[in-house]
Amino acid sequence: AQSVSQHNHHVILSEAASLELGCNYSYGGTVNLFWYVQYPGQHLQLLLKYFSGDPLVKGIKGFEAEFIKSKFSFNLRKPSVQWSDTAEYFCAVRQGTYKYIFGTGTRLKVLA
Amino acid sequence: DAGVTQSPTHLIKTRGQQVTLRCSPKSGHDTVSWYQQALGQGPQFIFQYYEEEERQRGNFPDRFSGHQFPNYSSELNVNALLLGDSALYLCASSFYLQGENTEAFFGQGTRLTVV
């Protein structure tokens, strides 16, 4: 069965620190990959997505992610985090055209 | 442009009862999916509806059923509630185009507590 692993469950950073959140998936076929963010009290919002093409994708709010097919990875990065980036981050793989398989999420806390 | 709206936002039910959750998709979207998010977990796919039919189903028992209406809105019904059904239930909508769904937009969810 397909699965998505997020290695870091809780991350605490100071403002201006760099961020990298790991995501690995298990699926050998064509994948659509996503990072969603959930700010406190808000709904899941799409940060960025990868369908095909350039493996380095840029999303909203300065986030980017790199798809490395050989490593089955889709890590999320941001060069300099802000206090407002405090949220829970979910990596997801879309299986076929239907369901998303989510990782367990990473709670990021940014200290001002 | 309204996003995905869900109702109610919170609900408390007793074991054995039945519950109905509602979802209105984002304007222009025709596909609705339901997810269950238990505490500390990522969302788990329940099922997806398109053209008023269940198109795919996750590993959930038959106690979980759904419906999609002609206006694309959807309901999730859960019968014979168990304590383990306590979770945040998320609705996601998308648009089906040329054999693929666009990315999903999520609602804020319904927090169901079973006591």
- Give me the amino acid identity at A90: F
User: pLDDT tens across B12-71, in order?
Assistant: 999 999 999 999 999 999 999 999 999 888 999 999 999 999 999 999 999 999 999 999
pLDDT beyond 80 at B82: yes
Average pLDDT, chain A: 93
Q: From CA A16, how far away is CA A85, in angstroms rounded?
A: 11
Verify whether the Cβ–Cβ distance A4 to B42 is below 8 Å: yes
Question: Which of B108, B45, B74 has the alpha carbon at shortest distance from A94?
Answer: B45
Per DSSP, the three-state class of A84 is helix
DSSP state for residue A18 in the 8-state scheme: -
Which residue from A minimizes the CA distance to B110? A43
User: pLDDT tens across A72-94, in order?
Assistant: 999 999 999 999 999 999 999 98
Cβ contact B28:B95 at 8 Å? yes
Residues in B touching A94 (Cβ below 8 Å):
101
Q: Measure CB to CB from residue B48 to each of A4, A43, A99 and give the nearest one.
A: A99
Verify whether the Cβ–Cβ distance A99 to B55 is below 8 Å: no
Verify whether the Cβ–Cβ distance A42 to B42 is below 8 Å: no
Which residue from B minimizes the CA distance to A48? B103
Q: How far is A15 from chain B (nearest CA, A)?
A: 25
Q: From CA A93, how far away is CA A74, in angstroms rounded?
A: 10
Cα B21-B69-B4 angle, rounded to 5 deg: 55
User: pLDDT tens across B43-57, in order?
Assistant: 999 999 999 999 999
pLDDT at A41: 85
Cβ contact A91:A28 at 8 Å? no
Among A6-15, A83-92, B1-10, B19-28, whose mean pLDDT is lowest? B1-10
Residues in B touching A34 (Cβ below 8 Å):
103
Asked if the peptide bond before residue A55 counts as cis, ω within 30 degrees of 0, the response is: no
Q: Measure CB to CB from residue A105 to each of B42, B48, B105 and give the nearest one.
A: B42
Q: For B66-87, what is the mean pLDDT?
A: 97
pLDDT at A97: 72
Residues in B touching A45 (Cβ below 8 Å):
106
User: pLDDT tens across A43-59, in order?
Assistant: 899 999 998 899 999 99
pLDDT at A111: 96
Verify whether the Cβ–Cβ distance B45 to A99 is below 8 Å: yes
Verify whether the Cβ–Cβ distance B106 to A98 is below 8 Å: no
Residues in A touching B106 (Cβ below 8 Å):
36, 43-45
pLDDT at B83: 97
pLDDT beyond 80 at A27: no
Residues in B touching A42 (Cβ below 8 Å):
108
Residue B2: which pLDDT band, with cuts at 50, 70 and 90? low
User: pLDDT tens across B89-113, in order?
Assistant: 999 999 887 777 788 999 999 999 9
Phi-psi region of A80 (alpha: psi -120 to 50; beta: other; left: phi over 0): beta
Identify the residue with better confidence: A23 or A40: A23
Tell me the longest C-alpha to C-alpha distance in chain A: 42
